[in-house]
Amino acid sequence: MAKKTINNDVLLANIIKGIEEVKGNDIDILDLRDIDTAVCDYFVICNGNSNTQVNAIVSSIQKTVSKDLKDKPWHVEGTDNAEWVLMDYVHIVVHVFQKHIREYYNIESLWGDAKITTIENKY
């Protein structure tokens, strides 16, 4: 059975909703569609304040996307130490960091040609 195609905008909205449900911070969406070497269409980057919150964000995203879209990530890694968790939804890759790890790797600067949209915290 073929996997149904999910609209990127709908998936992005559900990922953002999952992050906001557990008060994830500093949400950025990097639009990589115009970059030839990009591995996906979008990166969603956010951070939590502890490994507990990082894992809560990951869990919230998975629950929200699963409930609303009946989809799950193709691959998830980094949950053991929860400093940087990567969730691969094929066209959208989510990076959930602890703040100091995000600052260290500074992914946004590595993808400087991407269009970045910052989502304002709702709380």
> Residue 4: its pLDDT value, please?
55
The contacts of residue 37 (CB under 8 Å, 6+ apart) are none
> Residue 105: its pLDDT value, please?
96
> Residue 5: its pLDDT value, please?
65
> Residue 117: its pLDDT value, please?
96
Instruction: Choose among 73, 4, 84, 85: nearest CA to 40.
Output: 73
**SS3 state of residue 59:** helix
Q: How far is CA 31 from CA 37, 70, 82, 91, in A?
A: 13, 24, 25, 11
> Residue 99: its pLDDT value, please?
96
Residue 120: band (very low, low, confident or very high) from pLDDT cuts 50, 70, 90: confident
Q: How far apart are CA 116 and CA 29, in angstroms?
A: 6
Q: How far apart are CA 83 and CA 105, in angstroms?
A: 11
> Which pTM value belongs to this model?
0.93
Domains with residue ranges and CATH for the chain: 20-115 (3.30.460.10)
> Residue 2: its pLDDT value, please?
43
